[in-house]
Structures are given as C-alpha cells and as structure tokens.
Amino acid sequence: MLCPIFVKNNQKFFHNFYCDIFQKHLTFEARIAIIYTYNKTLFLNKSAKQPAAYRNNAKTKVNAMRYSIQREMILNTVLEDHTHPSAESVYNHLKGENNDLSLGTVYRNLNILAENHMLKKISIPNGSDRFDGTLSEHQHLVCTKCGKVTDVYISELEKIHNNVLDRSGFDINFASLAFEGICNECRSK
C-alpha cells in the first residue's frame, strides 16, 4: 500500500517508495540495503530522473549510514509507537533492555534516521522535538495542556502549494505544519 500524499512528479515516487518500504515488515538491515541500492542507482545514473531533494546533493548521508543494533531498536520503537515520541521517551522505553544505551546515542540516531528520511522530525514550539514513523504527507495537532501530538491530513494544503507556485514560481519541496490547541480529552476534563 502506498502512502497518500500530494508531492509532484518524481518526488511522489520517491516518497511512495520510502513509505512502501516501511509499511512492509522488513528488518532494519533490509531497509538500509534497499534504500542504499535505490540511492546508489540514482547517484550513479545521471540520466535517471531523480527526486528534487536528491539532485546534485553531494551531502546526502544515506549511503554512509551503517547498521547498528541500537539504531534498529530506536527505529523500531518509533515505528511501533504512534504517539510521536521524544528522544527522552524512546530512551526511557529502551534503557531497560539495553544498559549500554545513552540518551546522547538516542538523540544522535534519531537525527541520523530523520536526515536519511527514515523518520520525520517534528519541531514542537516550546517543547522537545518529536519523531514520527509516518512518512506520508500530513500535519500535526499539538495539545498545549497534555502535550499529545496527533496526525491529521488536510488536503486543502495542496491548493496553497499550487497557489505559491503560480504566484511566485517557488516550488515547495517540504512543509511542516503543527496546529496548537486543546485536545478532546483535555477539553472534557
């Protein structure tokens, strides 16, 4: 099953490719191998149509990411936890299983996984960054009372993207949007 998103042309394939990989039950090592092979093909085959995010980008680190058991545990924790965990909550969840794990290792690996498009990093105003295993295009609702983060998809944002492109010629590759307010549970208390 491919993720429903509104990215244009080759970027749509690129994001669907990643979403499809992570919705299948593959080991971390298998995911890295698939992504490595895909990106290596893109970089070596100059005539291939590349996603805009990867055209002429020598700084991409996807090919350099190596396998580690700790990274796999961190990735799986975020993928299985649909509450958009912070680095601290991932650390607290895993520290019982792995005494050698440090909070710094969790932060570093979460950021590496986000840089390599295996997770999304969500910047929360006045709060800790959160991480999301859902790679399809979506927005977030943030409760200012309890801190709960919820996914929401707003299809009307595609019109804004097209409007910006028509008016300014600026093609948006990525946008992050979080709405702050009070969730249903907190309002009913």
Domains with residue ranges and CATH for the chain = 9-187 (1.10.10.10)
Q: 169 in helix, strand or coil?
A: coil
DSSP 8-state secondary structure symbol assigned to residue 144? T
| pLDDT band at 117; cut points 50, 70, 90 | confident
Residue 94 has pLDDT above 90, yes or no: yes
Q: Hey, what are 6's tokens?
A: 């509104």
Q: Of residues 30 and 140, which shows the higher confidence score?
A: 140
Dump pLDDT digits (tens) for 14-71.
444 555 555 555 666 666 656 555 444 433 333 333 333 333 333 444 445 778 889 9
Rounded to whole angstroms, how far apart are CA atoms 60 and 38? Answer: 13
Residues 128/134/138/144 CA torsion (nearest 10 deg): -30
**Entry field: residues in the chain:** 189
> What is the reported pTM?
0.64
Residue 19 · residue 2 · CB < 8 Å: yes
pLDDT top residue among 39 and 100: 100
